[in-house]
Structure 1
Amino acid sequence: MQFNADKCEVLRISNKRSNILGATPYSIHGTALRTVDEAKYLGVTIHRNLSWKPHVQNICNKSNSTLGFLRRNLRKCSPKIKELAYKTYVRPTLEYSSTVWDPHHAGPDCPD
């Protein structure tokens, strides 16, 4: 099996504010791989400093987008249909891998 270099990325896990300068870039078949700050793996966004903020933002944006779609298209439906649509399309997105990051820390943005 051969890897497609265009679909591969390098994610360096570090608390340093800047990327390592002068680091030798990784390559596959002579093609240099691009270095990213965050990558999606099995539906979970992993940030270079292991912060869950990008993952939570992605999940919230996706759920809000789906909820907006349902509100626009189910405007005249009964509350039972709206509830069923919410539980089918929005709630699983919010709950997927939530045990990993919630509660990840208490702070001014997060109530105890």
Structure 2
Amino acid sequence: MSNIVRIETDKRRSRAVVYNGMVFVGGMTADDRSQDIKGQTKQTLEKIEKFLAEAGTDKSRLLTAQIWIKDLARDFDGMNEVWNEWTAPNAAPTRATSQCEMGAPDVLVEIIVTAALPE
């Protein structure tokens, strides 16, 4: 049986969970929410990279991503510009992107990813 490793856990959530050769990174948002969609996306992806590294993997091993955007019509292209520059060459994960009401009014993007650990 595989152990479950929880990273940065509090009463409500873990930032990442490692189990059975996979890393599940919870919903990440930007710390500086005064930024536009490109700035918030860049910050969010940097946080994801940090948690992937802490779990022992990296963005080249992403399996899937879920992206929520506050205003899809306004910000989809800007988010994609940053996303496309960030993803590892020839290693894009499966992905779903949708618009939703965010938990805070100044959050423009939230991203969840799942990645494989190295074998």
Same fold per TM (> 0.5)?
no
Which has the larger share of helix? 1
The alignment's TM-score, normalised by the length of structure 2, stands at 0.28
Give the TM-score normalised by the residue count of structure 1.
0.29
Greater relative CO (CA pairs within 8 A, separation 6+): 2
Larger radius of gyration, structure 1 or 2?
1
